[in-house]
Amino acid sequence: MEWKETISTAISALNARRMRSLLTMLGILIGIAAVMLTVGLGQGASASITSRINALGSNLIVVTPSQSTSSGGFRGGGGSVSTLTTADATMLADKTVAPDIAAVAPVSSTSGSLQSSSTTWTSTVVGTTPDWLTVRARTVSTGRFFTTDELDSSSNVAVIGSTTATELFSDGSPVGQTISINGSSFTVIGILNTQGTSGTSNEDDTVLVPLTSYAARLSTSSNANSISSIYLSGKDADSLSAAYQQVKTALLASHGVTSDNADFSVSTQASLVETATSITGILTVLLGGIAGISLLVGGIGVMNIMLVSVSERVREIGLRKALGATPGVIRQQFLVEAGILGTLGGLLGIAIGVTGALILTPIIGISVAISIPATLLALVVSLGIGLVAGVYPASRAAKLAPIDALRSE
């Protein structure tokens, strides 16, 4: 039997049992769509996290407090007590200590109660230095950032994020107006450009003041030189690894500790991206595996419909064998039917997966990636499932004896 005739006969047989065929394809359809959307969500989430980490700054290195030990001998969790000081930041800014570091920005932060002439708001208040703009790759949309002179003189000036500006000043420009931060008055001299969210925080809802002003008027720490973290930027991407080693070595020597009992931790932009990608990758594989179970169910459904089809078409099989059809022809017939079910289910699943990705992207705010290679692989997998599921029913049909088949009712 020619392939054209085989395919035509298979389509006619499936069309005669239309509802059953559609229900059989449903299992594969759901499985393919679920796998595509799950993998697409994983890839989209990974890309989103990577872009947010990259938005933190260019060639970024972050130093944060690690576990600390109190005088009573009790250890605290990471960051429970600040072990970093402005002296650490000054040391790391020295080119003889860390030649591959381009800029250093020590940071202290707290939650601040803000008040303008007309309303109140709560935001994150950050004390830092003028190099913060460079390290964090940020720009000012209106006004200016505070200067080194204002840092040295502990001036009461502030630069606010766009969200903070909107919440505090609904009318007119905020620049030049006065706000109260935890009871202390500061003059707004600039507004940051919009950045968006980074992890769970809104980068546009913040207030930045000179680190010296923060220490004198807003800090709750007993140590005026204490800081919560240090942001650094490497000269370029190629020197980021060397910069990381220089920072770590300098701080170990300065704090008199070893890598085993270090009271700080150093993370690079690359390591943050790698960690985030690893986590999303594991979740994608896990969820993709769960979704793949539905593909297995779909394959079992194809096998079931083909076995039922063999049982219902015993006389047809016997007649075709009596007219000269070989076992190979019979086997080919049922494999083609199974393959068509798998392929059609896969095509419909891909269509639903693409449609679902287009619908979900604006709803959840994360781009659901649709990979062409993954889509083609899904189609091949659906065809393979159909063929594998059809092997046993096809072999069973091919082994039927013509005389027994013709005698059956």
Q: Tokens at residue 62, please? A: 């972050």
- 267 CB-near residues (< 8 Å, 6+ apart): 61, 62, 64
Q: Which of 258, 226, 225, 282 is nearest to 80 (CA)?
A: 226
Number of residues written out for the chain: 409
pLDDT on residue 196: 67
Measured from the Cβ of residue 145, the count of other Cβ atoms closer than 10 Å reads 17
What residues pair up with 11 in beta bridges, in sequence order? none
Torsion of CA 303, 305, 308, 313, to 10 degrees: -110
pLDDT on residue 198: 55
Q: Which region, left, alpha or beta, applies to residue 224 given φ > 0 means left and ψ of -120 to 50 means alpha?
A: alpha
- Alpha carbons 315 and 333: distance in angstroms, whole number: 15
Q: What is the pTM of this model?
A: 0.60
Q: Residues 106, 112, 114, 120: is their CA dihedral positive or negative?
A: positive
pLDDT on residue 81: 54
Q: What is the pLDDT along the chain (409 residues), one digit of tens a residue?
A: 577 777 787 778 777 778 877 877 887 788 888 888 888 887 777 777 766 666 555 578 889 987 544 434 434 444 445 689 999 999 999 999 999 999 999 999 999 999 998 899 999 999 999 999 988 888 999 999 999 999 999 999 999 999 999 999 988 889 999 999 999 999 999 999 987 665 556 788 999 999 999 999 998 887 888 999 999 988 887 788 888 899 999 999 999 999 888 889 888 766 666 666 777 777 777 777 776 777 777 777 777 777 777 777 677 777 777 777 777 777 787 788 778 888 888 888 888 888 888 888 888 777 787 777 777 777 787 778 777 777 777 777 777 676 665 565 5
DSSP three-state, residue 186? strand
Asked if 262 and 66 touch (Cβ cutoff 8 Å), the reply is yes
Q: Which of 245, 242, 232, 278 is nearest to 58 (CA)?
A: 232
pLDDT on residue 96: 92
Helix runs in 56-186, H state only? 86-93, 132-135, 148-152, 162-168
- Alpha carbons 315 and 24: distance in angstroms, whole number: 23
Q: Tokens at residue 226, please? A: 């204490």
pLDDT on residue 10: 74
pLDDT on residue 71: 38
